[in-house]
Structure formats: C-alpha cells, structure tokens
Amino acid sequence: MLSKSNILLLEKLIHLGKRLERTRIYELLEPWIFDGYDVAEVQKAGKIISSFIGLPNLTFVINFTRQENNTAGHVELNNNSDEGVFIEIDEKFKSENEIILAILAHEICHKLIHINGLTQFGYENEILTDVATVYTGLGKLSLNGCETENVSTDTKWVGDKTTTTTTTTTTKQAVGYLKRGQFAFLYNVVCNMRKIPKEYATTGLNSYAINALNESTYNHDEELFHNDFLLQLANEILGGFNHQYHLVSANSIKLIKTMQANLESVIETDKLTHKKIKTTNEKFLTKATESLKPERLNYIKNLLLYHELTNLNSLYIDETSELTSLNKAIEKLLTNSDGKFQINLDIRDILYSIKCPICGNNMRLKQNKLVKIKCTKCKYSFIIDNTKIENLNDSDRKETKKTFRMKLKEIIALLKE
C-alpha cells in the first residue's frame, strides 16, 4: 500500500508530466566532480544542468553568500533572461561538491516550473520542485546531495601527555525538502516508468543513495503500463462491491418499507382506539348523567352501568397491554443487546410536533415533559410524552422500573383531571 506522502508525490509527478513531457523526453544526468571554489566551474555546472532540462538559452549567474537559517540556496525568478538568472548558494557548501549539484538542480527546476506556469503555493511548490529534479533527470544529483554525513576525529592528550583520547563526531547535513527515502521512491518510479536499466540507473550514485534505493519499495508490474489493465481490474473489484452493496441496500429498503407499513398500521390502530375510547366514554357518561323517573329506576340503570364499566375497564386494559407489547417490540428493534439505542434519541423537532389522534389537527408544544393537552380544534384531551428516551442496561433496569411506576402514577393522575 502507498503511504499518504508517497501518494502526494505521485500526484505531483502527474502534474509535471502532463506539461513537461510534451516538449522533450528526459534522460539521466550523471554526477561529476568539480571545484566549488572555482567560479568558472560552478557557472559551467549551472549551464550543464539548465541545458539538460531544456533551458539552454538562459544564463544562470551563481554566487556563494551567507543564507538565512535552514536556507541552502535561492533563485531570483522574476529577472529577465537577458540580465541572467541569479542563484545564491550558502557559502558553507563551497567544499561540498554533491550538495552544490543538488542545490543547483533544485533552484534551476524552480525556474523551469515558473516558466511553464506550474507553480504551486508556498511549501507545496518546494516539494513540487524537489519532485521536478527527479522527473527531469536530475534525480542522481538530488539523491547524492540531499543529505551528507561527515565524520571528524579529534585527538587530545590526557593527564601527563603519555596517552591520548580520540573523539569521533558525525555531522549530518540535509538540503532540500524531501528526505533521501522519498527521493529514492520517486527515482525508482521514474526509472521504471522510463524503462531505464538498473545498471544505468545506479551509476554515479554514492553508497547512501544506493542503500536508499534498495530500501525503497514500489510496484513495478509490467501490466501497469497498459491503461486498460486497471480498468479491467476496477470493473472486477468495483463491480463486485457494487453488486454486494446493492443487495444489502435492497434488503435495507425492504426492511424499512416493512417497518414503515407496520408503523403506519400501528398509528392507524392507535387513532381508531382513541376514537373508540372517546365515543365509548361519551356514551357511558351520557347514560350515567341521565336521571330516570321514577328515581328507583336509577338503581337498575346503575347496576347495568356498573357491569358495563367493569367490561370497559377490561377492554381498556387489553387495549393498553396490546400497545405496551407493541412498544416493547419497537424498542427491541431499535436497541442492541446492551439495551443501547442505535438511533438518535433526542430528535426534539419531531417530539415537539403533535397530531391530534381524533381529528388529525397539527399542533406544536415545546415542553420536555409528560403532559396532558387539549386539541385546539376538536377539544379532545390526551397525554403526550416529550421526555428524553434513555438508553437502558442491566445496571439501571431496576431504577427504570421505579421511574416507570412513577410515570404511571403521573398518567393516572392526569386521567383523573
């Protein structure tokens, strides 16, 4: 698998390749030895590099000056070519042949990117420039000079000057923005893309660069050169994934539709039950308030009503039990094995929207509590519960039973109002 940083590097290679490879085919520039203290040889090194990457008409004027911290070199991009393009290199690198070539490769590629309108913003442009050194065939210069390691020894006399101690100090110097391992990854990819033989790709490289190349991993499957190869593979993988997802999706839609149909049935049954209760209560109360003449007939009437009230009580208990069972089934459907709800429990906007079960009148009540309300249209009184649904687990089910009993008492009190 490609790392995130390597993915970004490959994307920058494509960004460069779409523009730069239209005009020339890049090869590999071999590193060479020169004297960094010789001004003419340094100017010649700049000319060799610029001509190699397709800028033979530009004159680069190269000077060694002290640079700011963490700055190895600098190029002036806005100068006209007739006046020369000025490059500055930190003076501490005069004796570092490989570093000078790496800095020149980077700064001259800055100019190439600028001329071709490929410039990116800030730090991204510096990374793009390092990538460009590899893409344009200057990869060996960058691999050799991006990091150097100097080992120095210091020998001192100890005590009576009959013995000595030697201290070895290793100093590492890095220039550029990519690490050697990243340069190695890019170099391997570009060489493989251009089918450059390994024996040619490794000539002129120092031991550190060779080790980095050997440690770099990349996919060099020949089939990757054929554009339709990945299309076929994508069709197989994505086609299988799409088929599997569509099966799961179809099953999900089926379950949702089934659930909706059952919920709609529950809602309709609830409406009918409310209407049935309302009608039955009204009929019963009408009979109960009727006064018969002679008054002794009220005795017989109340005997009948008492019997009817007992039957009504049984009927309401049955209706409530059926709805309670249904509520438990819905709760079981929406919770996992730990009693945790797998949905958003606090959808306030839905709870605040109320519909009268008798006439269907839409109302809105922003109260987070159990309360009895009266329909503004048909005047039917009923209870709503806007309290938050809580997750349940074994540790708090006893507490929940207490809470349920308390809530039941509240409901009974409301019904008595």
Tens of pLDDT, residues 137-159: 999 999 999 987 665 566 676 66
Question: Is 21 part of any domain?
Answer: yes
Number of domains in the chain: 2
Residue 364 pairs in a beta bridge with 353
Question: Is 238 part of any domain?
Answer: no
Q: C-alpha 187: how far from its chain's center?
A: 29
Separation between Cα atoms, residue 134 and residue 148, nearest integer Å: 18
With beta carbons less than 8 A apart as the criterion, state whether 46 and 157 touch: no
Question: Is 36 part of any domain?
Answer: yes
pLDDT for the residue numbered 144:
95
Q: pTM of this prediction? A: 0.60
Question: Is 232 part of any domain?
Answer: no
pLDDT for the residue numbered 390:
61
Q: Are residues 98 and 20 in the same domain?
A: yes
From the number of C-beta atoms within 10 Å of its C-beta (0-12, 13-18, 19+), residue 321 rates as exposed
Q: Are residues 186 and 281 in the same domain?
A: no
Separation between Cα atoms, residue 202 and residue 100, nearest integer Å: 20
Q: Are residues 208 and 263 in the same domain?
A: no
Question: Is 245 part of any domain?
Answer: no
Helices 297-334, 227-289: crossing angle, 10 deg rounding: 170
Q: C-alpha 109: how far from its chain's center?
A: 33
With beta carbons less than 8 A apart as the criterion, state whether 112 and 132 touch: yes
Separation between Cα atoms, residue 174 and residue 70, nearest integer Å: 9
CA count, 13 A, side-chain hemisphere, 36:
18
DSSP for 278-291, please give it.
Answer: HHHHHHHHHHHH--
For residue 297, the surrounding DSSP H or E stretch is helix 297-334
Q: Are residues 109 and 192 in the same domain?
A: yes
Q: Are residues 95 and 37 in the same domain?
A: yes
pLDDT for the residue numbered 153:
65
Quick: pLDDT tens for 54-99: 999 888 999 999 988 878 888 988 765 556 789 999 998 998 999 9
Q: Which two tokens stand for residue 165?
A: 């101690």
pLDDT for the residue numbered 235:
78
For residue 172, the surrounding DSSP H or E stretch is strand 163-174
- For the chain, the residue count is 417
285: left (phi over 0), alpha (psi -120 to 50) or beta: alpha
pLDDT for the residue numbered 170:
56
Each of the 417 residues of the chain gets a pLDDT tens digit; together they read 788 888 899 999 999 988 887 667 788 999 999 999 999 999 999 999 999 999 998 889 999 999 888 788 889 887 655 567 899 999 989 989 999 999 999 999 999 999 999 988 988 999 999 999 999 999 999 999 998 766 556 667 666 666 777 766 655 667 878 999 999 999 999 998 888 998 999 999 999 999 999 998 776 666 666 667 667 777 778 777 777 878 788 888 887 787 788 778 888 888 888 888 888 888 888 888 888 888 888 888 888 888 888 888 887 888 888 778 877 777 777 776 666 666 555 565 677 788 898 898 999 887 777 888 889 999 888 888 877 666 545 454 455 555 555 655 665 555 555
Amino acid at 30: E
Question: Is 23 part of any domain?
Answer: yes
Four-residue CA torsion sign, 274, 277, 280, 284: negative
pLDDT for the residue numbered 79:
61
Q: Are residues 96 and 43 in the same domain?
A: yes
pLDDT for the residue numbered 64:
93
pLDDT for the residue numbered 407:
57
Domain span including residue 408: 257-416
With beta carbons less than 8 A apart as the criterion, state whether 340 and 391 touch: yes
- Distances from the Cα of 57 to the Cα of 24, 45, 47, 84, 126, angstroms: 16, 15, 9, 10, 24
pLDDT for the residue numbered 234:
75
pLDDT for the residue numbered 262:
77
pLDDT for the residue numbered 152:
57
With beta carbons less than 8 A apart as the criterion, state whether 151 and 169 touch: yes
Sequence-distant (≥ 6) Cβ neighbours of residue 210 within 8 angstroms:
202
Q: Are residues 281 and 216 in the same domain?
A: no
Q: Are residues 180 and 278 in the same domain?
A: no
pLDDT for the residue numbered 82:
58
Question: Is 131 part of any domain?
Answer: yes
pLDDT for the residue numbered 130:
95
Question: Is 322 part of any domain?
Answer: yes
Separation between Cα atoms, residue 102 and residue 131, nearest integer Å: 12
CA-wise closest residue to 92 among 65, 70, 69? 65
Separation between Cα atoms, residue 325 and residue 318, nearest integer Å: 11
Residue 353 pairs in a beta bridge with 364
